[in-house]
Structure 1
Amino acid sequence: MRLSFPLRMTFNSSRSYNDAVAALNSLQSNYANIMAIRASGDRKNMMNIWEMQEWSRRIGYSTSDYNSLNIIHITGTKGKGSTAAFTQGILQQFQNDIKKIGLYTSPHLKSVRERIRINGDPISEEKFSKYFFEVWDKLDATTSSEEKFPHMVPGSKPGYFKYLTLLSFHVFMQEGCNTCIYEVGVGGEFDSTNIIEKPTACGVALLGIDHTFMLGDTIEEIAWNKGGIFKPGTPAFTIANQPEAGLRVLKERAQERHTTLTEVPHFEQLKDVKLGIAGEFQIANASLAVALAQQHLHQLNILQQPVNANVGAVIPDSFKKGLSLTRWDGRCQTVHDGEITWYIDGAHTKESIEAASGWFKAEVSSSTHKKILLFNQQTRNAEALINSLYDVLNTGVTFDRVIFSTNVTWKSGTYSADLVSLNTSKEQVDKLEVQKALKNVWKNLDAKANVDVVASIESACDLIKAYDEPVDVFVTGSLHLVGGLLVVFDGKNEE
């Protein structure tokens, strides 16, 4: 279904992409608000879903309209983005049948447009601006019931992630996408993507402990939230080797929602496929993607065979090709730059930092180059992550230098416009509080270590590029650090 806006809603070409990004950034929750939400302990908030339904109505859609997008819905703690990318890679091999594939993921690395892709490519700046202001103007021109939504006063807008979710639905509807893949933002049950009514398949990547202030402190609570995306009659799939307690809850949730949950093994045939995203652990995500794509194509009557979740299942060559061609920057990515080899993987949970560290260790096992660690994690338990990283790498990798940076992009103290983050304490960042604390942690682990604290990613790069010999650099922790690094690689400082 495509909707046309009245003439008075016509896009004003004088409003640029930069204007759209500035308006979007104004919707970010500030640090004080986020701390207040955390302190409140309000984890179960159906208002998130009701709001998204209402915002959709105000821009001209019923949530049932989104059923035409034929959505695959993916959640999990670690690997849901990679699973979404693999699923997209497979489905791109069937574009003669599908035509337009939408992908909605988060967070972005360099440009917010990365979150909304069609046929693998981020939408253009022109389309982003056009559709962004269509939604913006429509929300300005409509109102909500004061009785039902007293906080949604005229002129108010959804928060940053909700707005982008709303925008993605609008983009995919207007562009005529007939297959879409949605990565959950946080959790599932109360996530703003969970207004999807009839997905073609639901997937759960590896469960772990993260976002505890929103999802709960135990794997059972987290699994309950993740299982909230299950829908009646829509087959659900999860990777093999989930934590036992979490898997039990997922099975209970599937039963509650009147659907099936299938554990997807590591398919034997994928062991001989060079996956487009590096790392041995990616075979679990690739296997889950195979099952999701198979179910989706079966649902659309493109493939007749139902999902075969046996470890020895025959994987079609088209699926293997799609998996091998998949690209996903910032996840187990290797960049060669003269004498420097960058090993880059955003990892913000214990499970992901251990996986990333294991990947780096395997990659440099035979390298005699000097080793450098570049790390930041501004908003989670950075100390615990550093200890996990050290435990994995202590036997086999010795860092000649360790650098703790903020997520600030440039030495001038500014962020790239698409990477502005208001959800951290500016004072904490300015004083390098996290970075100084991490230096102390590392010194306690290795008293002889050469450790630097720097105020920007550009400054960290300057230290690394000063080496006149081959070096291997492990960049991990925050995806905001990874994204900022890739922006610095491009060298496009907007100032």
Structure 2
Amino acid sequence: MTYQEAVDYIAGIPKFTKKHSLEHTREFLRRLGNPAVDRKVIHVAGTNGKGSVCAYLQAILMAEKKRVGFFTSPHLVSVNERIRIDNVPINDEQFTETFDVVLKAAETMEASGWGHPSYFEFLFGMGMKAFAGTDVEYIILETGLGGRLDATNSVEHPKLTVITSISLDHTEILGDTIEQIAAEKAGIIKRGVPVFFDGSCPEASGVIHRIAFENEAPCREISNHAYEIQEVTRKYIAFSRVNAYDRDVIIQVPICGCYQVMNAEIGLCAAEYLLEGEAIHEERWQEAIRTLRWEGRMERIAPHMVIDGAHNPGAVVAFVESMKALRADEGEGPVILFSAVSDKKYEQMIEYLCRNLNVKAFVVTEVEDRRRVPAEELAKVFHKYTEKRVICEAKVLEALRAAEDERGEDTDIYCLGSLYLAGMIKAAI
């Protein structure tokens, strides 16, 4: 197949198959030759921040001249983004060659009655096969949804597991309490394998401690007492680590979300564990974090435009906190461009934005996805909670133009509510 035919085939997988058990995924990997089983795997789960933690950890390992494979989701523009080697998405030729091998394994599974792998399972198989063809030492796996039943959890012997911030999301699948969701995320914990986690939420922390104890897994809780924020600007956040060794070292995070300091700290702690006993170069770590770019996370894509992947209530709370720390809601406030998909708690997100953020206007639009919420429906919800101007444009390009017209000369535009929206805006820009 050509590259485009391979992309089209993968995009069509949801039409004829469904998610399977972990045993199905393990059988899939066996038919692929158990690719990359000999590498050091770091498995990362969480509601928010898991992609960012992966990105920080990848940057630090690369700064120490380690080769790193990274399987992430979703992609913003190209599906190749999900499979990275040393932070470079595999090229179209690599993608197509790997696809051909994985497709044959998928077809043999289907022919023998196992069923064709799902969209995510197929791409996960491609990722592991692509990594196996290189000399990567470390593989960072970001879970797709949950943890316990996620295809990435078919890897039975990771080097380290990491759990980031936990809040309510995918409640129809993972449970409607923090404790239930934490239990699903903590399903990645393996017997005897250390787990590092964000200890900001007491309800989640209790569950993670319990499951780690049951699995005899060494447990490292990282709280917000582990660091001190020193400076917040529109270009970076500076923090110091609260320990005797690093207290005087200032680290700059180039993503202007206050929550990113915790994510960076988790990445630093994970790297310290992984590289224990090796010579490390602190200045390289600082530079790796300072120069990191993680697309779609408080990313300034134009002098007056920022896109953020906040797509659930917890992420929106963090977004608002960052806006206030930046004083971005002072004066007239920003223009907010918003869209969402139907399986997210979009009314809760909208209510929080309206009640807690001073804005000049809201612009609502629709993403290109079967789960999209009509712009008119979003506008109705906004009108319930705000008296500010609400502009409704179903087409993203028209919505961007409307936001530009509304912002004036000195106002920023912040785009959030869906990673699909972030990807569409990046493609348009």
Is the TM-score greater than 0.5?
A: yes
- Compute the displacement of 1:318 (Å): 2.8
Distance 1:67 1:352 in 2: 34
- Compute the displacement of 1:303 (Å): 4.9
C-alpha contact (below 8 Å) 1:189/1:228 kept by paired residues: yes
Distance 1:403 1:53 in 2: 45
Normalization by structure 2: what TM-score?
A: 0.88
What secondary structure, in the 3-state scheme, does the structure 1 residue paired with 2:156 have?
Answer: coil
Q: Which amino acid aligns with 2:30?
A: R
Q: Which residue of 2 aligns with 1:168?
A: 127
2:326 to 346, 363, 374: 363
1:118 aligns with 2:85: yes
Q: Which residue of 1 aligns with 2:5?
A: 19
Q: Which residue of 2 aligns with 1:328?
A: 294
1:378 aligns with 2:336: no
Percentage of pairs with the same residue: 28
C-alpha contact (below 8 Å) 1:374/1:403 kept by paired residues: yes
C-alpha contact (below 8 Å) 1:294/1:303 kept by paired residues: no
Distance 1:460 1:452 in 2: 8
C-alpha contact (below 8 Å) 1:343/1:474 kept by paired residues: yes
Alpha-carbon distance change, 465 to 391 in structure 1, aligned in 2, over 3 angstroms? closer
Higher relative contact order (CA 8 A, sep 6+): 1
Q: Which residue of 2 aligns with 1:389?
A: 353
Q: Which residue of 1 aligns with 2:233?
A: none
Q: Which residue of 2 aligns with 1:251?
A: 209
Task: After superposition, give the CA deviation of every residue in 1:401-430 in whole Å (9 maximum; x if it has no partner).
Answer: 32111013xxxxxxxxxxxx45x2xxxx5x
Alpha-carbon distance change, 244 to 142 in structure 1, aligned in 2, over 3 angstroms? closer
Q: Which residue of 1 aligns with 2:63?
A: 93
Task: After superposition, give the CA deviation of every residue in 1:379-410 in whole Å (9 maximum; x if it has no partner).
Answer: 212111101112220xxx232x32111013xx
Q: Which moved more, 1:175-184 or 1:433-442?
A: 433-442
Alpha-carbon distance change, 282 to 29 in structure 1, aligned in 2, over 3 angstroms? farther
Equivalent residue runs for 1:214-253 within 5 Å: 214-241=173-200, 243-253=201-211
Size of the alignment, in residue pairs?
407
Q: Which residue of 2 aligns with 1:137?
A: 104
Distance 2:321 2:155 in 1: 36
Q: Which residue of 1 aligns with 2:278?
A: 302
- Compute the displacement of 1:441 (Å): 2.2
Q: Which residue of 1 aligns with 2:140?
A: 181
Q: Which moved more, 1:82-91 or 1:466-475?
A: 466-475
Distance 1:217 1:319 in 2: 38
Distance 1:110 1:59 in 2: 27
- Compute the displacement of 1:460 (Å): 1.0
Q: Which residue of 2 aligns with 1:196?
A: 155
Q: Which residue of 1 aligns with 2:414?
A: 474
Equivalent residue runs for 1:440-479 within 5 Å: 440-447=380-387, 449-466=388-405, 469-479=409-419
Q: Which residue of 1 aligns with 2:48?
A: 78
Q: Which residue of 2 aligns with 1:10?
A: none
Q: Which residue of 2 aligns with 1:7?
A: none
What secondary structure, in the 3-state scheme, does the structure 2 residue paired with 1:262 have?
Answer: strand
Alpha-carbon distance change, 143 to 211 in structure 1, aligned in 2, over 3 angstroms? closer
- Compute the displacement of 1:369 (Å): 6.8
Distance 1:366 1:184 in 2: 34
Structure 2 unaligned blocks of 5 or more: 229-238, 241-249
C-alpha contact (below 8 Å) 1:235/1:261 kept by paired residues: yes
Please report the RMSD computed on the Cα atoms of aligned residues, expressed in angstroms. Answer: 2.3
Alpha-carbon distance change, 76 to 472 in structure 1, aligned in 2, over 3 angstroms? same
Equivalent residue runs for 1:270-289 within 5 Å: 270-271=239-240, 272-289=250-267
Alpha-carbon distance change, 391 to 333 in structure 1, aligned in 2, over 3 angstroms? same
Q: Which amino acid aligns with 1:446?
A: T
Distance 1:206 1:370 in 2: 28
The structure with the largest alpha-carbon Rg is 1
C-alpha contact (below 8 Å) 1:369/1:470 kept by paired residues: no
1:404 aligns with 2:364: yes
1:354 to 304, 317, 320: 317
Structure 1 unaligned blocks of 5 or more: 1-14, 35-44, 305-314, 409-420, 490-495
Q: Which residue of 2 aligns with 1:39?
A: none
Task: After superposition, give the CA deviation of every residue in 1:295-330 in whole Å (9 maximum; x if it has no partner).
Answer: 2223xx5359xxxxxxxxxx9333222221221011
C-alpha contact (below 8 Å) 1:17/1:125 kept by paired residues: yes
Alpha-carbon distance change, 362 to 55 in structure 1, aligned in 2, over 3 angstroms? same
What secondary structure, in the 3-state scheme, does the structure 1 residue paired with 2:69 have?
Answer: strand
Q: Which residue of 2 aligns with 1:51?
A: 24
C-alpha contact (below 8 Å) 1:230/1:254 kept by paired residues: yes
C-alpha contact (below 8 Å) 2:28/2:105 kept by paired residues: no
C-alpha contact (below 8 Å) 1:109/1:484 kept by paired residues: yes
